[in-house]
Amino acid sequence: MSTEENRILFSSVLVKLLKGVIYSVDNDKLWDELIKRQSAVRDYFKVLGLDVIIYEDEGFAWLKQTTAQEGVDEIPRLMPRRQLSFSVSLLLALLRKKLVEHDSSSGERRLIIGRDDLLEDTKTFYPQGTNEVRFKQRFDTSVNKIESMGFVRPIGDGGSSLEVCRIIKGFVDASWLAEFDTRLQEYVKYAGAKEVNE
């Protein structure tokens, strides 16, 4: 490979990370370049106040804003914070738990969930008597949101099933998951107090 081809490949890794997640299964050439030159990639993004998070065993990587040290001025944020709605947070928690259960009981790497099954699982955390039409609309909006964030991929006819992307493990981490039951109780309490308008 020529020097110019190497430069283009390295630049492609940087641009792809700035745009979102690199998955090994999507582009093994970019993934191999990232792993091979991760030190240089980390140095490049460190200047911008970004950390490169790599889950090598799982085959994905993304950028995260560096946490400012105490007493040090924070670099202006390049990566926007996302305030997640109740419905989106609940879906992410449910999917992360399902991925843990799947990994501990199945040899299959991919986790695929029927959209209707997920709808039913979600419904149990809303009060009885919730308006069905509005609930379905809210659910569809939330699924579209987590799809745009890269946590699920629609598969099958009309997206009748969803593949859970393993990147969810990096965002909904072990400490967050350890509080899963507590969080769900909070969600149930919140949903019981008022119907969520989103």
What does the DSSP assignment read for 65-122? EPPPPTTSPPPPPSSPP----HHHHHHHHHHHHHHHHHHHH-S-S-EEEEHHHHHHHH
Q: How would residue 196 be classed by pLDDT, with cut points 50, 70 and 90?
A: very low
Domain with CATH 1.10.10 in the chain: 3-65, 86-193
The CATH architecture of the domain made up of 3-65 is Orthogonal Bundle (1.10)
Q: How would residue 17 be classed by pLDDT, with cut points 50, 70 and 90?
A: very high
- Whether pTM exceeds 0.95: no
Distance CA 46, CA 182 (A): 35
* Domain topology for 86-193: Arc Repressor Mutant, subunit A (1.10.10)
Mean pLDDT of 106-129: 85
Mean pLDDT of 77-103: 80
Q: How would residue 78 be classed by pLDDT, with cut points 50, 70 and 90?
A: low
Task: Give the pLDDT of residue 197.
Answer: 46
